[in-house]
């Protein structure tokens, strides 16, 4: 079965950007949501993302217009009736996802490929609610998904190889870098990301450096390095003898806390969620939220261009 009609369920940051990405490459794409307000926000976010792509000469104004005309929005479940692929990007709650799939897997044709964009929930557990679960897999895009090349394709216990192969080829066809991983909490990216965040919080809470200091070390040191090389390549280039010697005394001193750090917990309890609430570790009021999004997208677009030229 050729994948032509794609339905994105959920019009948030991830869903809207994924929808635009598929539409960009010629797929007939519909973004579904139960909220008209969410759909309107999605339209605004897509236009904001396209502004950066136009300014960075990724696409032209004419191509952006064609993309927008190819992208549809709907609040009607009937859109699932003829889907070749469904990508679910709703709230990160396993019970809500299972309820969604218990209903939607009955509506779609039997040959439809079904995927979830969860950041780390068990694919095997979600799969329990899916009719014909062998066609179901994890399809984890990375924020901002219209720029970051990586997609993690996660195989649940009942996912068949044919499903994985189709998702892999589809990912390559939209100029992404797919990586197949086995089902585990956090998959690969978030296991690495949260290991770094845990140590970053440990460093700040123990007074080794500040929030700004840690961010600068990442941006102007490790970030550039890891944009070019993976951790195993970095170790090879640095010398495994050196890395072995450092690990012999440093591993014992790294943070290994099992509960959220106080500075993270306090922000959460205050409702300071970052850009979405205009306050987190930094202040994002008075337009600073859109400013940081534009800055991030400009930098990541430049990096992505270099990686694609490699």
Mean pLDDT per block of 10 residues along the chain (310 residues) reads: 93 96 96 96 93 89 93 97 97 97 97 96 98 98 93 98 98 97 96 96 97 97 92 95 96 94 95 96 95 90 81
pTM comes to: 0.90
Q: State the Cα angle at 238 between 235 and 244, rounded to 5°.
A: 60
Sheet of 71-74: strand order equals 71-74, 28-32, 5-9, 85-88, 113-116, 136-141, 150-155, 177-182
Domain residue extents for the chain? 5-182, 189-309
Choose the CATH number for 5-182 among 3.30.450.20, 3.30.230.10, 3.40.50.720, 3.40.228.10. 3.40.50.720
CATH of domain 189-309: 1.10.1040.10
**Do 167 and 84 touch, CB atoms closer than 8 A?**
no
């Amino acid at each position: 079965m050729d994948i032509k009609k794609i339905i994105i369920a959920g019009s948030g940051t991830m869903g809207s950007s994924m929808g635009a990405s598929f539409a960009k490459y010629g797929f007939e794409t519909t973004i579904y949501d139960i909220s008209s307000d969410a759909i309107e926000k999605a339209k605004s976010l897509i236009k904001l993302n396209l502004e950066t792509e136009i300014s960075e000469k990724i696409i032209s104004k004419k191509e952006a217009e064609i993309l927008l005309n190819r992208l549809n929005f709907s609040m009607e479940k009937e859109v699932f009736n003829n889907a070749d692929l469904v990508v679910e990007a709703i709230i990160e709650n396993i019970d809500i996802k299972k309820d969604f799939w218990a209903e939607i897997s009955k509506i779609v044709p039997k040959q439809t490929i079904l995927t979830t964009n969860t950041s780390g929930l068990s694919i095997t557990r979600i799969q329990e609610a899916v009719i014909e679960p062998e066609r179901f897999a994890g399809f984890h895009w990375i924020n901002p998904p219209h720029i970051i090349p990586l997609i993690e394709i996660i195989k649940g216990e009942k996912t068949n190889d044919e499903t994985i192969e189709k998702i892999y080829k589809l990912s390559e066809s939209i100029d992404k870098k797919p990586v197949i991983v086995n089902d585990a909490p956090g998959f690969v990216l978030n296991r690495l990301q949260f290991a770094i965040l845990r140590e970053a919080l440990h460093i700040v809470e123990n007074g080794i450096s500040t929030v700004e200091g840690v961010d600068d070390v990442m941006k102007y040191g490790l970030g550039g390095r890891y944009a070019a090389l993976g951790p195993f390549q970095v170790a090879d280039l640095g010398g495994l003898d050196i890395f072995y010697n450092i690990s012999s005394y440093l591993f014992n001193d790294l943070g290994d806390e099992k509960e959220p750090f106080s500075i993270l917990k306090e922000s959460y309890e205050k409702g300071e969620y970052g850009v979405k609430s205009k306050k987190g570790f930094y202040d994002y009021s008075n337009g600073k939220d859109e400013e940081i999004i534009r800055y991030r997208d400009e930098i990541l677009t430049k990096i992505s261009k270099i990686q694609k030229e490699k």
